[in-house]
């Protein structure tokens, strides 16, 4: 397996025309033997070092869930009883329904008694 990995790394270097290795290939055995550490923002729902996507049937409350989680993280407000382990800036991409998002954000702020000014 190591020979195969070395050959793959050499092919990447040659394709890039570089002599230094910028990509690190790991055999599955090494990948799986590494300790798993999860850095939770909202345990066990939102991991700091991951890309999160919500998907589901229309009308399944995806937007409400995303806004609720995002604003909880941004304002360090408990989410559904769960502590926010690290608050911070939240970037929300509205794939659809942009016209209704401001109403949902305002409703969340009223329900949580949060001032959106800051």
* Tokens matching residue 94: 């509205």
Is the preceding omega at residue 75 within 30 degrees of 0, hence cis? no
C-alpha to C-alpha distance for 110 and 54, rounded to whole angstroms: 24
Taking only the tens of pLDDT, the chain with its 118 residues reads: 556 556 666 666 665 555 555 778 888 998 889 888 889 999 999 998 778 888 899 889 988 999 999 999 999 999 999 999 999 888 888 877 788 899 999 999 999 999 988 7
Answer yes or no: pTM beyond 0.75.
no
């Amino acid at each position: 397996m190591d020979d195969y990995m070395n050959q793959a790394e050499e092919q990447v270097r040659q394709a890039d025309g570089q002599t230094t290795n910028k990509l690190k290939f790991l055999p599955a055995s090494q990948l799986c033997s590494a300790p798993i550490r999860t850095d939770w923002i909202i345990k066990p729902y939102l991991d700091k070092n991951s890309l999160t996507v919500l998907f589901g049937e229309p009308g399944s409350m995806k937007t409400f869930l995303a806004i609720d989680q995002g604003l909880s993280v941004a304002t360090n407000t408990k989410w559904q009883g769960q502590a926010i382990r690290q608050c911070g800036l939240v970037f929300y991409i509205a794939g659809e329904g942009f016209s209704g998002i401001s109403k949902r954000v305002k409703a969340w702020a009223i329900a949580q008694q949060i001032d959106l000014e800051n």
